[in-house]
């Protein structure tokens, strides 16, 4: 008994610990899961996952069961020599028909799903072009802007629940990959080409997490976004707000607007209804209503926005090229720096008040 404890209990304890860890991890959830679909496209993918899992489990159980049976039934034991087999026609026929039937069961729904994924969006679908940049996402709604033009925002997609969506992907620099596991499968955005995601219809109101799923540089892991699925009335109110200029700010926010228009921000950013029409960086119209900043890596609040303006490089690994391509760290620049001058803490507080004050009413 002592020898059993010495030799076997460590193995038993390890096995129990592994089982407990496995069960614990199986109970975990994540906002980027494919096992909680919230659209018709994601549901089709989920159904195939489940079908494959069930069939694979049955095949595995059958093979292991047959192996255990054969090892026990035909084993060598006192007074009995182990049986030797050199072929069995019935088993071979069965072993051919069963996998063939399983492949048919897998193939039919898989082909149907691929055909569905390759179809064009419906005539009344909401059409969106998403462009990947190092390292943020530009979102352009076709025909939703003023006079039927484009409506542009960044790092967030607002979608009405129950309406089909057709998304076209592009890249401004390198290969990116658009992925929202709960809504639609991933697809690469390639420079110089366009690619169409599978049309999908969101089925439930909520906030869903997206991520660039193709390595695209040092800030790849920080190239995230949110998809906000909302009732139609809220979506229409949001779209209308992005077409109009925010109300004229007052107090500290008014000071921040003056700084935004004079400190170089307008070179890169757009704000509807103002002279800021830059196209290098994200469109900041109604920025105060966004859930995150920095392409989904930080909660959009006063403290984080101040830190972001003061020293972006302390929060996200972007190149230090004097602000030619990437946003400068304004708090670290000299007051007479060129082409962008440094900002004091009071300047940054005013800018923060201005940006956060631009909200969807």
pLDDT digits (tens, 9 = 90+) for 80-104: 777 777 777 887 888 888 888 988 9
Q: Which residues, 6+ apart, have CB-to-CB distance to 160 below 8 Å?
A: 126, 202, 229, 230, 231, 232, 235, 236
Is residue 2 in some structural domain? no
What pLDDT, on a 0 to 100 scale, did the predictor assign at position 121? Answer: 92
CB atoms within 10 A of CB 357: 19
Q: Which of 242, 272, 304 is a domain's end point? A: 242
**Which region holds residue 294: left if phi is over 0, alpha if psi is between -120 and 50, else beta?**
left
Residue 276 is part of a domain; what is its CATH number? 2.60.40.420
pLDDT digits (tens, 9 = 90+) for 160-173: 999 999 999 999 99
Q: Which of 242, 268, 298 is a domain's end point? A: 242
Structure tokens that stand for 36 in this block: 């909680």
Is residue 302 in some structural domain? yes
Q: Angle, nearest 10°, between helix axes 89-117 and 40-73?
A: 170
What pLDDT, on a 0 to 100 scale, did the predictor assign at position 360? Answer: 87
Q: What is the pLDDT along the chain (361 residues), one digit of tens a residue?
A: 555 455 566 777 777 787 777 777 666 667 778 889 999 999 999 999 999 999 999 989 988 998 888 888 878 778 777 777 777 788 788 888 888 898 898 899 889 888 888 889 999 999 999 999 999 999 999 988 777 788 999 999 999 999 999 999 999 999 999 999 999 999 999 999 999 999 999 999 999 999 999 999 989 999 999 999 999 999 999 998 888 877 888 999 999 999 888 877 888 898 888 888 888 889 998 999 999 999 999 999 999 999 999 999 889 987 776 555 678 888 888 877 777 778 899 999 999 999 999 998 7
What pLDDT, on a 0 to 100 scale, did the predictor assign at position 32? Answer: 79
Asked if 169 and 270 sit in the same domain, the reply is no
Asked if 236 and 141 sit in the same domain, the reply is yes
Using the structure block, give the residue that is written with the tokens 């709960």. 182
Number of domains the chain contains: 2
pTM: 0.82
What pLDDT, on a 0 to 100 scale, did the predictor assign at position 261? Answer: 87
Asked if 199 and 267 sit in the same domain, the reply is no
Domain assignment of residue 285, given as a range = 252-357
Contact predicate 291/338, CB 8 Å = no
Q: Which of 217, 242, 267 is a domain's end point? A: 242
Q: How far apart are CA 159 and CA 235, in angstroms?
A: 7
What pLDDT, on a 0 to 100 scale, did the predictor assign at position 25? Answer: 67
């Amino acid at each position: 008994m002592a020898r059993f404890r010495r030799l076997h209990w460590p193995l038993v304890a390890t096995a129990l610990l592994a089982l407990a860890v496995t069960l614990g991890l199986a109970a975990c959830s994540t906002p980027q899961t494919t096992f909680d679909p919230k659209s018709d496209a994601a549901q089709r993918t989920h159904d195939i996952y489940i079908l494959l899992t069930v069939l694979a489990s049955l095949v595995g159980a059958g093979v292991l069961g047959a192996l255990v049976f054969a090892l026990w039934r035909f084993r060598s034991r006192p007074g009995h020599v182990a049986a030797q087999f050199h072929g069995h026609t019935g088993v071979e026929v069965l072993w051919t028909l069963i996998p063939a039937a399983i492949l048919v069961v897998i193939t039919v729904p898989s082909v149907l799903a691929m055909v569905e994924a390759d179809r064009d969006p419906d005539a009344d679908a909401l059409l969106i072009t998403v462009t990947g940049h190092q390292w943020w996402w530009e979102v352009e709604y076709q025909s939703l802007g003023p006079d039927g033009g484009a409506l542009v925002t960044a790092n967030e997609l607002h979608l009405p629940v129950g309406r089909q969506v057709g998304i076209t992907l592009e890249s401004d620099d390198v290969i990116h990959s658009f992925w929202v596991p709960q809504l639609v499968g991933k697809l690469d955005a390639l420079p110089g080409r366009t690619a169409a995601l599978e049309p999908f219809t969101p089925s439930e109101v909520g906030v869903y997490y997206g991520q660039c799923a193709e390595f695209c540089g040092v800030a790849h892991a920080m190239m995230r976004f949110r998809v906000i699925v909302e009732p139609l009335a809220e979506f229409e109110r949001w779209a209308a707000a992005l077409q109009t200029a925010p109300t004229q700010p007052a107090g500290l926010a008014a000071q921040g607007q003056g700084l935004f228009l004079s400190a170089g921000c307008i070179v890169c950013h757009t704000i509807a209804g103002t002279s800021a029409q830059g196209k290098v960086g994200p469109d900041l119209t109604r920025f105060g209503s966004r859930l995150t900043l920095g392409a989904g890596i930080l909660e959009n609040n006063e403290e984080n926005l101040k830190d972001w303006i003061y020293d972006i490089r302390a929060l996200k690994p972007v190149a230090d090229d004097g602000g030619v391509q990437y946003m400068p760290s304004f708090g670290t620049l000299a007051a007479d720096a060129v082409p962008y001058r440094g900002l004091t803490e009071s300047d940054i507080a005013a800018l923060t008040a201005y940006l956060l004050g631009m909200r969807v009413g």
